[in-house]
Chain A
Amino acid sequence: MAIGRGDGLVDIHHHLLPGLDDGPRDWGQALELAREAVRAGIRTVVATPHVRPGQPGQPTRAAVVEMVDELRSRLASEGIELEVLAGAEVYPVPDLPRWLAGGSGASWDLGQGSQIRYLLLDLPFDRLPPNFDRLIFEVALTGVTPIIAHPERNRQLAERPQLLIPLVEQGVVLQVTAGSLVGAFGREAQHASMWLVRRGLARVVATDAHDVVRRSPLAMREAYRYLSRHVGVAMAEHLCSRWPLEVARGEPLSAAPPMDGAAPAQARPTGVRGLARGLRAWWQRMASSF
C-alpha cells in the first residue's frame, strides 16, 4: 500500500491512540482529535505513543499496531478520511542501542518496511543527556536514522540551538513542533524553532498533538501558513508535507528547496583571504563538535 497521497499535510508525531500515554483517554477523544487533524489539513498521521524502553508496562509494537487497526476501522465507520500509521516516540535511555539491536525495538521505526528507517526520539525538557552524540552514533549503527523531537522545547537547546549543528552533521533529523513556530510555547521556543528552520537544520514540522485544547493538531495549519509567509511556500510544503511523508515511507529525504527570506547570499571572498576565512569558520565548527 502506498503511503500518503502526496497532497495534504503529514504529521509524524501525534499522540492519537487512547489510553497509552498522556494523549486522549478514550476512543471518543481520539476520534475528536482525528477530526481536528483533518480540519487542520492533515491527511496522514503517524501515531506515536511514548515508549520508554526497558520499563515495565510499556506499550508493545503489537499492541500499537492492533490499536491502529481498530482506529482505522472506527475512522472508516465515522467517515473520517485520515490515514494512520503505527509509530512511537521513544525515550533515549542509555540502553537504547542494545534495545534496538536486540530486535525488540527494530520494529519501532516510523518507516514501513523500507531500507532507511527513522526513529523518533523524545528529549528531556531541561538538558541534553550526557554523551548524547555517542548515543546517536550507536543508534545510527543499528541502521535507523534518529529524529530528535522538538529540540526547541529543550531549555538548553532553545538557548543554544547551535549545539544541534554537530548532531545534524552526524545525520540526525530535527523535528520542530508546529505550536512552537507560531508561539504557543513562548518566545524562546519560537525563536529557536525559526532559527532551526532558517538555517535549514529542521526538516520536519509535526504537531505533537495530545488533545484538542492545549496541544491541538490545528497548530499544523497555522504553522504551515506562518512558514509560507516567512520562508516561502516551497519550504513550508517540504517541512509540513514532503519531508514528513518521506519519513513515513522510510525514504531518504529529498534536497532542500530554495528558501524565501533567507539571509541574502553574500558574495564569498575568494583568494587567500577567502580560503583563510573558510578554514577559520570550518575549524570553529570542528572545534565546537569535540
Chain B
Amino acid sequence: MDGQQYQLAAEAFRSLRTNLQYAALGSPLRILTVTAAGPDEGKSFITANLAVAMAQGGTRVLAVGADLRRPALHRAFGLDYRVGLTSVLMGRMSLEEAVRHTEPWGVDVLPSGPLPPNPAELLGSRQMAALLEEMKQRWELVLLDTPPVVALSDAALLAARSDGVLLVVTAYQTPRDVVVAARRQLEQVGARILGVVLNRVRPSESGRYHYYYYYYSRDGSSAESPRDGRWSHAERPSASLAGRATGVMADRIPGGRDA
C-alpha cells in the first residue's frame, strides 16, 4: 500500500469513527459488535483499526476477540490467542490478568483464549453477560470482533447485548441476499444496526466515495483478487498496523488526540 492509499485508509477509519459518534447520538454507545455477513470479509481488520482510531481520539477502548471459531483479532496486534476471553469466562483468571495493553496503539485487547467446542453456548452464558457489564464499567468503548452472522448464532447473541452493530460487507462480492439475510438475523434479535462498512472498495472508485465507502489493502491489489490482499493472511499484519498505518493515524489525523 503506498502512502496515498494509507492516507485513504486512515481517512476512512477516521470518518468511520466520526460517523459512529453521530449514529450513536441520543443513546450511549458502549458495546459495539462488529460482524460480517459471510466469512473472510475483513472484520478483524476493521475492528482493530477502528479500535486504534478510537483510542487515538482519546477514548479508552477494549477490543475483544469474540470470534471463537477463527480468531484473527490477536494477529492484528501481534498477540497470542491462547490466553483471553474464554480463560476469563471459564473462571481461570480475572479480566485484568487476561487483558493486554498494546503500547503503541493505546488499545486494550482481550484475545479469544483457547477455542471451546461450544462457542455459542459460552457467548450466550450468564458469565458473558456479567463480563460485558464489567467491561462497560471499565472502558468507554468495547468492540466485539465476532464470527459472521449468517449461519452462526454467535454474533446475533452478542449483538442483542450490544448497543449497536457494524456490519462489514465486501464490495462487489457479498451477494445482496446474503447481506439481507444478515440484516434480518440481526433485526430479529433486536440489534441496532448502526451502519455498514463496505470493505475493499477499488481505489479508482474511492474518489467518489461517500460516508460508507472505505478502502483498504495490504498491497494495493486486493480489489482484483480478494485473497492476495487478504489482510489476515499476512504473517503479522500488526507490522503494517504498527508501522505506516499507525504513523498515518497518529500523526496525520487532524485533531487526533482531542477529537
Q: Enumerate chain A interface residues (CB-CB to B < 8 A).
A: 116, 133-134, 136-138, 140-143, 145, 166, 169-171, 252, 255, 268, 270-272, 274-276, 278-279, 282-283, 286, 289
The B171-202 residues at the A interface (CB cut-off 8 A) are 172-175, 178
- Contacting residues, chain B, for A137 (C-beta < 8 A): 86, 114-117
Chain A residues with CB under 8 Å of B235's CB are 255
The reply on B83 being an interface residue by CB < 8 A is yes
Q: How many residues of B contact A (CB 8 A)?
A: 31
Residues of B within 8 A of A (CB): 38-40, 69-70, 80, 82-83, 86-87, 90, 92, 113-118, 150-152, 170, 172-175, 178, 225-227, 235
Give the distance in Å from the alpha carbon of A157 to the alpha carbon of B19 in the complex. Answer: 51
Q: A206–B70 Cα gap in the complex (Å)? A: 28
A286 and B119 alpha carbons, distance in the complex (Å): 11
- The 3 A-B pairs of least Cβ separation, nearest first, read A140-B114, A133-B117, A170-B115
| Chain A residues, Cβ within 8 Å of B39 | 278-279, 282
Provide 6 A-B residue pairs closer than 8 Å at the C-beta atoms, listed in order of the A residue.
Answer: A116-B80, A137-B117, A140-B114, A145-B82, A170-B114, A271-B173
CA–CA, A136 and B150, complex, Å = 27
B117 touches A252 (CB 8 A): no
List residues of chain A with CB within 8 A of the CB of B113: 141
Q: Please name 20 further chain A to chain B contacts, defined as beta carbons within 8 Å, in addition to the given A270-B226, A271-B173, sorted by A numbering.
A: A134-B117, A137-B116, A141-B114, A142-B92, A166-B117, A171-B115, A255-B235, A268-B227, A275-B38, A275-B170, A275-B175, A279-B38, A279-B39, A279-B150, A279-B151, A279-B178, A282-B39, A283-B151, A286-B151, A289-B117
B70 near A169 with CB under 8 A, answer yes
Q: Using Cβ atoms and an 8 Å threshold, which residues of chain B touch A289? A: 117
**What residues on A are CB-neighbors of B227 within 8 Å?**
268
Give the chain A neighbours of B87 by CB distance below 8 A.
Answer: 141
Q: Which residues of A contact B116 (CB under 8 A)?
A: 137
Task: List chain A residues, Cβ under 8 A from B175.
Answer: 272, 275-276
A192 to B225, CA, bound (A): 34
CB pair A170–B150 under 8 Å, yes or no, is: no
Q: Is the interface of B mostly helix, strand, loop or mixed?
A: loop
Residues of the A chain whose Cβ atoms lie less than 8 Å from the Cβ of B92: 141-142
Measured between C-beta atoms, what is the minimum distance from B99 to chain A in Å? Answer: 17
In the assembled complex, how far is the CB of residue B78 from the closest CB belonging to chain A, in whole angstroms? 12
Residue from B90, B114, B170, B172 in contact with A171 in the complex, judged by beta carbons closer than 8 Å: B114
Instruction: Judge whether B178 and A171 touch: CB under 8 Å.
Output: no
A61-B242 Cα distance, complex, nearest whole Å: 43
Question: How many Å lie between the Cα of A141 and that of B87 in the bound state?
Answer: 6
Nearest CB on B from A1, distance (A)? 25
In the complex, what's the smallest C-beta–C-beta distance from A142 to chain B, in angstroms? 8
Q: Report which of A133, A171, A275 forms a contact with B174, defined as CB distance below 8 A.
A: A275
For A134, give the chain B residue with the smallest CB separation. B117
Among the interface residues A138, A171, A286, which one has the most CB atoms of the partner chain B within 10 A?
A: A286
* Cα of A255 to Cα of B235 in the assembled complex, Å: 8
> What chain A residues lie within 8 Å of B225 (beta carbons)?
270
Given contacts A141-B90, A143-B83, contact A278 B38 (CB under 8 A): yes
A133-B117, A170-B114, A283-B151 as given contacts; A140 in contact with B174, CB under 8 Å? no
> Is B115 a contact of A275 with CB atoms below 8 Å?
no
Give min CB distance, B72 to chain A, whole Å. Answer: 13
**Using Cβ atoms and an 8 Å threshold, which residues of chain B touch A136?**
117
Instruction: Report yes or no: B178 in contact with A275, Cβ–Cβ below 8 A.
Output: yes
Residues on A with C-beta less than 8 A from B83 are 143
Q: Smallest Cβ distance from A258 to chain B, in angstroms? A: 15
Q: Which residues of B contact A282 (CB under 8 A)?
A: 38-39, 151
Residues of A within 8 A of B118 (CB): 134
| Contact (Cβ within 8 A) B115 A169 | yes
Shortest beta-carbon distance, B219 to chain A, in Å?
18
Report chain B residues within 8 Å CB of A255: 235
CA distance A283 to B69 in the complex (A): 12
Q: How far is the CA of A170 from the CA of B96 in the complex (A)?
A: 24
B187 to nearest A CB, angstroms? 20
Of listed A133, A138, A141, A286, residue having the most chain B CB within 10 A = A141
CA distance A134 to B116 in the complex (A): 7
B residues near A268, Cβ cutoff 8 Å: 227
Instruction: Report the minimum CB–CB distance from A266 to chain B (whole Å).
Output: 12
